[in-house]
Amino acid sequence: MSGLRAKHRADRHRRILEAAAELFREAGYERAKIETIAAQAEVSVGTIYNYYKNKGDILVAIVSMEVNEVLHAGHGVVANPPADVHDAVDTLVGIYIEHSLIYLSKEMWRQAMAISTQQPESPFGRTYTALDHALIDQVCALIERLQELKLIAREIDGRSVGELIFNNVNMMFIDFVKNDPATISGLRAALRRQNRVLLNAISR
């Protein structure tokens, strides 16, 4: 019985987040109303407030859903990476970039980044930071896995390489969401070009 309740609860969460993501895209984050999200998710307004204090909480939950999905997909790349260093890094980075606009628009990403920057010690800010750290850890885990496979020199500081790669991806992604005409294909091409320089220097 408890399993069924948990399933219903998870289903309500999913409906709320998907309805909110759609409304945030269509109406914009600022103009979206909790009442409209509830109507589209087919739940009561009280149900939403049982789970989330405000729209910011809903937004960070959408970001969490997005990041957790890419982390799950990335586990497979770390466990069994392509045999070419460039392909391995590009595959993992590609999962992050290609999935980034599934639930969130660029405007929603800008809002999330602004809240995390303005309120770093809030639950939203701490969650956003923790998600970034989980992504960093995964990139570092891939570099260390490539070292185990003797595709990257073992004497290289794998953690630092992973941090460098993620920090550059993050900076380029921020530029991407600030620029509405920028495309995912353009972002991926730029990241391949930049990562090639670093990876050529450390791969065997």
Per-residue pLDDT of the chain (204 residues; tens, 9 = 90+): 566 666 777 788 889 999 999 999 999 898 999 999 999 999 999 999 988 888 989 999 999 999 999 999 999 999 999 999 999 999 999 999 999 999 999 999 999 999 999 988 988 899 999 999 999 999 999 999 999 999 999 999 999 999 999 999 999 999 999 999 999 999 999 999 999 999 999 987
Q: What is the DSSP letter of 52?
A: -
CATH number for the 55-202 domain, one of 1.10.357, 1.10.3470, 3.30.730, 2.60.40?
1.10.357
Residue with tokens 């770093």: 120
Alpha carbon 196 to chain centroid distance?
A: 23
CATH number of the 1-52 domain: 1.10.10.60
Q: Where do the domains of the chain lie?
A: 1-52, 55-202
Closest CA to 169 of 151, 142, 145, 144: 142
CA gap 24, 65 in Å, rounded: 15
